[in-house]
Amino acid sequence: MLRSARSVSAPPSGVVALRSLVALLPAVWLVACGTGADRAEPASPETGQRPAGVSPLFEPLPAEAPAPADNPTTAERVDLGHKLFFEPKLSRSGVISCNTCHVVGAAGIDARHVAIGEGAREGTRNSPTVFNAAFLKAQFWDGRAPTLEEQAMGPIQAHVEMDLTPVEAVARLDSAGYGPFFAAAFPDDADALTFENVAKAIAAFERTLLTPGAPFDRYLAGDESALTDAQKEGLKLFQDAGCVGCHNGAMLGGSGFAGFSHAQGKGDMGRAAVTQEAIDNYVFRIAPLRNVALTGPYFHDGSVRSLQEAVEVMGNSQLKRRFTAEEVASIVAFLEALTGEFPLITHPRLPRASGVSR
């Protein structure tokens, strides 16, 4: 389902407010977005009372993402970050942008098992979705960046991804005509066009990429018709089997780390590469499950294509339990209820100074 993008004061250019239009979209569009639009009957009113039997470990997805004191989510910063997220000049070839690996029109992923960057070089890990990343306790599969701002700096500089130095990135943006946009977004900075502010603007934009309104959120709010009977059965099994022990909170994951036996024996040592501690061998950030039905392939290495197989693997490796086909189908049904409403993000008009070709 598409929803209008929110902003702090005025909507950023290209992030279109279309509430009335979305209400008129043909049903086929809604089905194509995988939001369970087959339930055409009116939803029962939300009571504010959590249905009986639902774990207190679950939390609804907040409507807004908190911002750090040094990077408020202003309309000007979101607008600039929107442009920078789509800006191919931030890659050495002038072809790759943040949106290349985190496609906002495709649930924030690239659907590859691992990302492809500059010179067709393959990375070693799957590109996680950018949607709702603002609520994660740490960024990247190994948690090496605690904030969105720090995360935004990494891919631009990484040789396998965008392969630019901070100095090169700033020079390219300056020559393209970005100066006035940085000045508007960072009015208190004498030198507004800096690499640090590039990251701040991208992070501000990413804090607007939220997907509230999932059937599970409506269910938590007391609308017991928001889930089908199959999804309710899947929720019960998800809890009873112990999945909720790791996949909890507003993101149903993403707030901690866990060993992943499925990865053992492979080259990626996970968090140990960050901490240099043997105890962190094959430890990865617990995957958040918001919109998981749309964000395959799965796991840090993208080694599993289907959600059904991912559930089977998790049962075997993490719970030491072999789910039956019926149990897998039940859990998958519940996971499909975690698909929220995506904002409609258009491609922005990018600054281009006269006579500049790169």
139 bridge partner residues:
145
Question: Of these residues, 76, 87, 161, 312, which one is catalytic?
Answer: 161
CA dist list (Å): 340 to 4, 97, 355? 13, 25, 43
Q: Which token pair is 225?
A: 């018709």
In this structure, the strands spanning 257-259 and 283-285 are antiparallel
Q: CA-CA distance, 10 to 5, in Å (whole number)?
A: 11
343 bridge partner residues:
3
Q: CA-CA distance, 207 to 130, in Å (whole number)?
A: 9
In this structure, the strands spanning 2-3 and 257-259 are unpaired
* Active-site annotation holds for 161: yes
Give backbone dihedrals phi and psi of 210, rounded to 5 degrees, phi first: -120, 155
> Are 133 and 121 spatial neighbours (Cβ–Cβ below 8 Å)?
no
192 bridge partner residues:
none
Amino acid at 89: K
Active site residues per annotation: 161
